[in-house]
Chain A
Amino acid sequence: MALVLNEEQRMLKDAARDFLSEHAPVSQLRQLRDGRDALGYSRATWQQMVDLGWSGILVPEAQGGLDFGHVGMGQIMEQSGRTLTASPLFATAVMGVSAIVQAGSLAQRNALLPAIVAGELQLAPALDEGPHHAPRQVRTRLEARGDGCVLNGEKQFVPDGHSADQLIVSARSAGADADRDGISLVLVERTAPGVTVERVVMADSRNSAMVRFDNVALPRAALLGNPGTASAVIERLSEIGNAHLAAELLGLSLEACEQTVAYLNTRKQFGVLIGSYQGLQHRAAHLFSEIELLKSLVIKTLQALDAGSAEVAVLASLAKAKAGEVATLATNEAVQLHGGVGMTDELDIGFFMKRARVAEHLYGDHRYHLRRFATLSGY
């Protein structure tokens, strides 16, 4: 398949760029931060995104979605990386939808997906229990009790954990702490008795949360898929998440690079544009080349997801590893090449650096993914 967007995908990309730059630019995130917004994103902007159909991009048509695929969703994620837009798009429309599509029963799909499409339901994936992504390190316990089950444990760094309606929680039904088998996925109401949510505002001003479960009683219908068999689903979920985070980091890197190049072409020292100095030109040109390499991995990975290719596992790690490295380079260079002004809060560049690091560490930084790639490749 050609590594280019088709006409419809290109139109979606352009529409996303127009909408986000007009309605949700970086200044919106700055306002949310400065106003210590209780929700952490603009409800009005999210409603507009819902009206545009973005909550249903990955939802099958049978459940009222657009079924537009990962390449399409990746274009929105890439553009939201340019504007650093905070919204439930990732946690709900990418991760939540994918969890239900992957593991949900027909009844669950019919009940939950249309509500997500309509903007009436928001989800938060609660997969990690520590500061480093480790999807099999699950100590949270899910035990059968009567007709249902009971949940005990703690999840950390849950995106949108304090604002979502329901949490998608990985929990151990059997086995030891790091076993592959014995992990289940359950849906838990955020406000259910025994659920304690502590909001954690991250460096990028986005939502995260610590969530504790104390004897939370759940009906059997809360299970997503069969108990004890969720590892493969979680693995795929993390691949999907990483593919879209890589797309976001691509947009973020492009924007940081473009703003920096524009600055090099504006700022004068010693009577000349600083962009006329070869020392700076080469750094910008190297960054440009690295971003070009990342672009190719991102589109290939998104296409592989849509094609259901067996290569997704490898590609998702390559894309996220490269995205983590490139976004780190892009934002470090952006600050350095802007000089002192790059260190000021008044300039947006700092927001890009902070988001780059948070997005890299969510679901594995570049070292995690290089190790995973090596393991998948048999070394």
Chain B
Amino acid sequence: MPDLEQFRRETRAWLETNCPLSQRETVVEFEDRCWGGTQWKFVSDDQKRWLEVMAARGWTAPDWPAEYGGGGLNKEETKILREEMNRINARLPLFSMGLSMIGPALLKYGSEALKRQHIRNIVEGRIWWCQGYSEPNFGSDLAGLQTRCEDRGDHFIVNGQKVWTSYADRADWMFCLVRTDPAAVKHAGISLVLFDMNTPGVTTRPIRLISGKSPFCETFLDDVRVEKDQLVGTLNKGWELATYLLTHEREMIGSIGQGNAGAKNLHDHAVEQIGLAGGELADSALRTDIARWEMDNRAFELTAERITDEATAGQGVGAASSMLKYTGTEINKRRHELLVSIHGQRALAWEGDAYEHGLMATQWLRTKGNSIEGGTSEIQLNIIAKRILGLGKE
């Protein structure tokens, strides 16, 4: 334990020295959060420096093995680092699907050569990864995917279409689920392959959302050549990786509300906008709604913490990620509905300097996707019912 205390002291001091003040401000715009990659335009020198100093210690991926560039921290040290970062409201130096999804999958299932090729680039934020999962006709029913991957001797050729590919137009590489055995039943015949988005035959088209933004693309794959050494894990055994990755995705999306740490409390917004009467928020119905949301949000944050603690202690149930994804996203949607209620028509202004160019409306609309992407709330409820509660087994 004294070692951990020392680690905490040193980490605190190091962060104080190295985390630029601007990187301790709450994230507002998309670009405030660094995603890395070859096309990334740093919004400030501070953002660039913060990524570099953290990546140099492997602290963008604190619990990954040091031999591939990770931080090499154990669970307790990782938790301390997070706590110390939260203490000063430090932004994550890097936020990417490389860190949250394909990196962990490569560490668990990838060949030594794949780890050497990709992990350090992820840690250092050099490559922006996107995910090729959903297809136009296979969303919730992901295992029905039809993108074909044929063996052409020394390489594969991929043909098909992906949809809801996050930022495919800015991404450098894709990890992509493909069908390698069309004869096999659904979940059998699937593999996971990696390729460069600059490969001939890859085209992307942004999808305009109700928020007016285009964070997702359609991705068309026409005779895309994929090298054989870019197959992750075993041929036709990709579904295991897919579910492993989906678990990570659920955890990432479920924790989306925790990105609000350091943001202004809902009740501070309300006091500012609506005011107090006799020490109480002047709108008593809204007061109760906000209190109920703050209760649920606190319960959710503590639950995420408890699930981690239980895993560390070797206790707890599996499939917790579905419960966290379901509750976390529904709570985040409620947060933005309440923000709109608190700010009224101001929150619904769409254009013009006076209202931050519709930022609040944009963010509110974006959250509607939280309970759809990465498996809908209904799919999470299915998983909880079947895997945890054991319902529906004859």
Q: Do A and B bind each other?
A: yes
User: Which positions in A face B, CB cutoff 8 Å?
Assistant: 2-4, 261, 264-265, 272-273, 275-276, 278, 280-282, 284-286, 288-289, 292-297, 299-300, 318, 321-322, 367, 370-371, 373-375, 377-379
Q: Interface digits, B82-99 against A, CB 8 Å rule (1 contact, 0 not)? A: 000000000000000000
Give the number of residue pairs across the A-B interface with Cβ within 8 Å.
129
- How far does the Cβ of A246 sit from chain B's closest Cβ, in whole Å? 11
Contact with A along B259-289 (1 / 0, CB 8 A): 0000001010011000010011100000110
Cross-chain contact of A375 among B280, B294, B390 (Cβ < 8 A): B280
A294-B299, A370-B291 given; A379·B271 CB < 8 A: yes
Give CA–CA (A273, B310) in the complex, Å.
33
Partner of A275, one of B306, B320, B392: B392
Cβ-defined contact, B306 with A299, below 8 A: yes
Tell me the B282-332 residues at the A interface (CB within 8 Å): 287-288, 290-292, 294-296, 298-300, 302-303, 305-306, 309-310, 312-313, 315, 320, 323, 326-327
19 CB < 8 A contacts A-B: A3-B305, A3-B306, A4-B310, A261-B391, A276-B394, A284-B391, A285-B326, A292-B327, A296-B305, A297-B298, A321-B292, A322-B295, A322-B296, A322-B299, A370-B288, A373-B294, A374-B291, A379-B267, A379-B270
Bound Cα distance A201, B310 (Å): 41
Taking a contact as CB atoms under 8 Å apart, the answer to whether A4 and B306 are in contact is yes
Also in contact, A281 and B302, with CB within 8 A (given A370-B291, A371-B288, A379-B267): no
Segment at the A interface, from B59-67, B185-193, B378-386: B378-386
Q: Could you say which residues of chain B place their CB within 8 Å of the CB of A2? A: 309, 312-313
Given A292-B323, A294-B299, 13 further pairs, Cβ under 8 A:
A265-B391, A272-B394, A285-B326, A285-B388, A288-B389, A292-B327, A295-B306, A296-B305, A299-B306, A318-B299, A322-B296, A370-B288, A375-B280
In the assembled complex, which residues on chain A have CB atoms less than 8 Å from the CB atom of B388? 285, 288
Residues of B whose CB lies within 8 Å of any CB of A are 265, 267, 270-271, 276, 279-281, 287-288, 290-292, 294-296, 298-300, 302-303, 305-306, 309-310, 312-313, 315, 320, 323, 326-327, 378, 380-382, 384-386, 388-394
Residue B291 contacts which of A261, A297, A373 (CB distance < 8 angstroms)? A373
- Asked whether B296 lies within 8 Å of A293 as measured between CB atoms, the reply is yes
* Smallest beta-carbon distance B252→chain A, Å: 18
The residues of A that contact B287 with a CB separation of less than 8 Å are 371, 374, 379
Most buried by B among A280, A296, A322, A375: A296
Contacts of A299 in B (CB 8 A): 306
Q: Do residues B313 and A374 form an inter-chain contact, with CB atoms below 8 A?
A: no
Residues on B with C-beta less than 8 A from A297 are: 295, 298-299, 302
Nearest CB to that of B392 among chain A residues? A276
Residues in B neighbouring A285, C-beta threshold 8 A: 326, 380-382, 384-385, 388-389
Residues of A within 8 A of B392 (CB): 273, 275-276, 281
Chain A contact residues, majority secondary structure: helix
Q: A273-B394, A288-B389, A379-B271 are in contact. Are A295 and B298 (CB under 8 A)?
A: no
A14 CB, nearest partner CB in chain B, Å? 13
Contact A4 B290 (CB under 8 A): no
User: In the assembled complex, how far is the CB of residue A337 from the closest CB belonging to chain B, in whole angstroms?
Assistant: 11
Judge whether A265 and B390 touch: CB under 8 Å.
yes
Cβ-defined partner of A377 (8 Å) among B267, B292, B386, B390 = B267
Docked-complex contact B303 and A295, CB < 8 angstroms? yes
| Distance between Cα atoms of A273 and B392 in the complex (Å) | 7
In the complex, the 10 A-B pairs of residues with the closest C-beta atoms, listed nearest first: A281-B385, A296-B302, A285-B384, A3-B306, A293-B299, A275-B391, A276-B392, A2-B309, A285-B381, A370-B291
Query: In the assembly, what is the distance between CA of A14 and CA of B313, in Å?
Result: 17
> What's the nearest-Cβ distance from chain A to residue B310, in Å?
6
B295, B302, B305, B310: the one within 8 Å of A370 (CB) = B295
Task: Write the nearest CB–CB distance from A287 to chain B, whole angstroms.
Answer: 9
